[in-house]
């Protein structure tokens, strides 16, 4: 009888240990608190290009994480991307003329949304839209623009340059 | 011709094991009415595997910490060690190594126990007394394995992280804050879910193979020995095959 009692205690402790380990994994190794479903308010922003931006990407202001990208949708009429941002309720005094741009963390890092402060006295609230936006900068477009400008600027010299050798 | 017969035998075994799984699942509700039997099996299969699981996990964690540090320092990326270790452990090594160790530690014990019951006619005696051996013997052991493996996997992951933390932060000098913050930034709850999903599948696999081989072992000393060997071999192969299949399916969603 006593043996089965210790056995049951051991089993209970084992199950407890297993769930404690799972809890440790879920809370210590992921930033689970940022996923708190409905906390915070939603703001939309329209971008002409969101290439590489993913749902749940961070939203930052002055480099500090203030929210996450909730959804990315395509507007069939205006042919642009509608990005819904969920911003933590702590940050409720962001001017409503702030601008949003899609930036890259590091040289090849993942994309995130950066907010730049505006000067308005009214603040962003639930369902307001950020008007000033700057879409993702695609490296290929930047390179082709640069090459195109080079060719434009030095049109004559470019042709003589290629003819001289 | 021999190959052909072997192939038919493999197909027959898969069919027989599936039917056996169905008959176990039919008896599971009845077995759940006696939780004492199941808790006894969780103790046998789970609690007694804790030592081997935790020791292995600590050393596996330490070695990934060491190897990860070596590889990442060549790229000057030591700071993401925490993220690299956590993803490796949660998604792959945790469930797979736990599955393999469980097959060796608990699967063999289950198979030989049931095999010996078969060899000494204890199972037939139960049938004579109108006790369904699947309900009384097989189902609790199967459920014990299914409950134990995910819990053991979670323990393995947590201890493995601590092992990697010990080597990475204390020995190799990775920044403690970077270790945890990089881990939290890159590990998604879905990664943990992937590991848990795998561990449930491996628990069902390990449990089913062990009770199936034991229940159907030839009633001889040699037969019981064969059943334990087959349990380890079959479980190991199936765990690795299922691991690939589950990974392929889950990664497709991304």
Which of A14, A32, A107, A112 to mutate: most B Cβ within 10 Å? Answer: A14
Say which of A11, A15, A25 has its CB closest to residue B90: A25
Nearest Cβ partner of A29 from B40, B159, B183? B183
Q: Is B219 helix (H, G, I), strand (E, B) or coil?
A: coil
Q: Do A10 and B180 touch (CB under 8 A)?
A: no
Mark yes or no for CB contact A11/B39 under 8 Å.
yes
Given a cut of 80, is residue B124 above it in pLDDT? yes
Interface of B with A in 37-66 (CB under 8 A): 39-40, 42-43, 46-47, 50
Q: For position B215, what pLDDT does the model report?
A: 93
pLDDT range class, residue A159, cuts 50, 70, 90: very low
Mean model confidence pLDDT for chain B: 91
Summarize pLDDT for B216-246 with one digit per residue, the tens: 999 998 999 999 999 999 999 999 999 999 9
The β-bridge relationship of strands A41-47 and A58-61 is unpaired
Q: Give the pLDDT of residue B67.
A: 93
Cα separation, A113 vs A134, in Å, equals 10
Q: Could B157 and A28 be called an inter-chain contact, meaning their C-beta atoms sit closer than 8 Å?
A: no
pLDDT at residue A39 greater than cutoff 80: no
State yes or no: pLDDT of A36 exceeds 60: no
Whether the Cβ atoms of residue A41 and residue A87 lie closer than 8 Å to each other? yes
Residue A90: pLDDT band with limits 50, 70, 90: confident
Record the pTM.
0.74
Q: Contact at 8 Å (CB) between B161 and B182?
A: no
CA distance B162 to chain A (A): 11
Q: Where are the beta strands (DSSP E) in chain B?
A: none
- For CA atoms A25, A31, A34, A35, the dihedral sign is negative
Residue A105 has pLDDT above 70, yes or no: yes
pLDDT at A155: 60
Interchain contact B77–A (C-beta under 8 A): no
* B47–A29 CB contact, under 8 Å: no
Higher pLDDT, A15 or B63: B63
A33 has a pLDDT exceeding 90:
no
List, as one string, the DSSP characters of B8-43: HHHHHHHHHHHHHHHHHHHHHHHHHT-HHHHHHHHH
Q: Is the pLDDT of residue A38 over 80?
A: no
Residue A11's pLDDT band (cuts 50, 70, 90): confident
Give the closest residue to A20 by CA, choosing from A32, A31, A12. Answer: A12
**Residue among A8, A29, A56 minimizing CB distance to B39:** A8
**pLDDT band of A111, cuts 50, 70, 90:** confident
- Kindly tell me if the per-residue pLDDT of A160 is higher than 60: no
Residue range B101-129: mean pLDDT, rounded = 93
pLDDT at residue A1, as a whole number: 52
Closest approach of chain A CAs to the CA of B206, in angstroms?
A: 18
Inspect the interface and report whether the beta carbons of B46 and A14 lie closer than 8 Å.
yes
Residue A69 in contact with residue A57, Cβ under 8 Å? yes
What are the chain B neighbours of A29 within 8 Å (beta carbons)?
Answer: 86, 90, 161, 183-184, 187, 192
The pLDDT tens digits of the residues spanning B172-215 come to 888 888 888 888 888 888 888 889 999 999 999 999 999 999 99
Higher pLDDT, B123 or A52: B123
Q: Which of A15, A26, A28 sits opposite B151 (nearest CB)?
A: A15
Q: Is pLDDT at A157 greater than 70 in this prediction?
A: no
Task: Note whether A25 contacts B155, CB cutoff 8 Å.
Answer: no
Residue A58: closest C-alpha in chain B: B185
pLDDT above 80 (res B91)? yes
Asked if B180 contacts B162 with a C-beta cutoff of 8 angstroms, the reply is no
The whole-number pLDDT of residue A163 equals 43
pLDDT exceeds cutoff 50 at B152:
yes
Overall average pLDDT of the B121-132 stretch: 90
Q: Please state the three-class secondary structure of chain A as a single string.
A: CHHHHHHHHHHHHHHHHHHHHHHHHHHHCCCHHHHCCCCCEEEEEEECCCCCCCCCCEEEECCEEEEEEEEEEEECCCCEEEEEEEECCCCCCCECCCEEEEEECCCCCCEEEEEECCCCCCECCCCEEECEEECCCCHHHHHHHHHHHHHHHCHHHHHHHHHCC
Reported confidence tier of residue B98, pLDDT bands at 50, 70, 90 = very high
Using CB atoms, pick whichever of A10, A18, A29 lies closest to residue B161.
A29
- Give the closest residue to A67 by CA, choosing from A47, A41, A104, A46: A41
Backbone angles phi, psi at A39, to 5 degrees: -75, 145
């Amino acid at each position: 009888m006593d043996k089965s009692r210790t056995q049951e205690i051991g089993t209970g402790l084992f199950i407890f240990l297993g769930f404690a380990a799972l809890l440790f994994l879920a809370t210590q190794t992921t930033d689970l608190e940022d996923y708190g479903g409905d906390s915070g308010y939603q703001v939309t922003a329209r971008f002409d290009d969101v290439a590489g931006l993913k749902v749940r990407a961070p939203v930052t202001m002055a480099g500090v994480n203030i929210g996450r990208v909730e959804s990315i949708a395509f507007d069939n009429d205006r042919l642009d991307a509608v990005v819904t941002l969920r911003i933590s309720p702590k940050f409720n005094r962001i001017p409503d003329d702030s601008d949003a741009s899609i930036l890259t963390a590091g040289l090849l890092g993942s994309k995130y949304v950066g907010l730049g402060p505006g000067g308005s006295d009214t603040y962003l609230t639930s369902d307001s839209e950020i008007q000033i936006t700057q879409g993702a900068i695609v490296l290929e477009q930047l390179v082709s623009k640069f090459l195109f400008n080079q060719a434009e600027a030095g049109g004559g010299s470019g042709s003589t340059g290629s003819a001289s050798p | 011709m021999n190959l052909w017969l072997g192939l038919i035998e493999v197909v027959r075994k898969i069919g027989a094991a599936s039917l056996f799984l169905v008959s176990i699942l039919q008896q599971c509700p009845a077995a759940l009415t006696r939780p004492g039997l199941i808790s006894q099996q969780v103790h046998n299969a789970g609690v007694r595997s804790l030592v081997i699981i935790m020791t292995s996990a600590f050393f596996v964690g330490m070695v990934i910490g060491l190897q990860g540090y070596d590889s990442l320092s060549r790229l000057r990326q030591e700071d993401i060690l925490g993220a690299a270790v956590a993803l490796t452990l949660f998604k792959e090594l945790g469930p797979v190594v736990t599955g393999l160790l469980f097959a060796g530690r608990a699967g063999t014990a289950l198979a030989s126990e049931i095999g010996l019951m078969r060899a000494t006619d204890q199972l037939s005696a139960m049938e004579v007394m109108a006790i369904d051996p699947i309900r009384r013997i097989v189902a609790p052991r199967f459920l014990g394995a299914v409950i134990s493996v995910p819990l053991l996997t979670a323990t393995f992951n947590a201890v493995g992280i601590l092992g990697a933390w010990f080597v990475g932060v204390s020995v190799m000098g990775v920044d403690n804050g970077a270790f945890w913050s990089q881990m939290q930034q890159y590990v998604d709850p879905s990664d943990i879910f992937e590991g848990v999903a795998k561990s449930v599948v491996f628990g069902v696999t390990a449990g089913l193979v062990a009770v199936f081989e034991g229940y159907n072992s030839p009633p001889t000393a040699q037969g019981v020995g064969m059943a334990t060997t087959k349990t380890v071999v079959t479980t190991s192969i199936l765990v690795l095959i299922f691991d690939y299949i589950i990974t392929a399916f889950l990664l497709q969603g991304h």
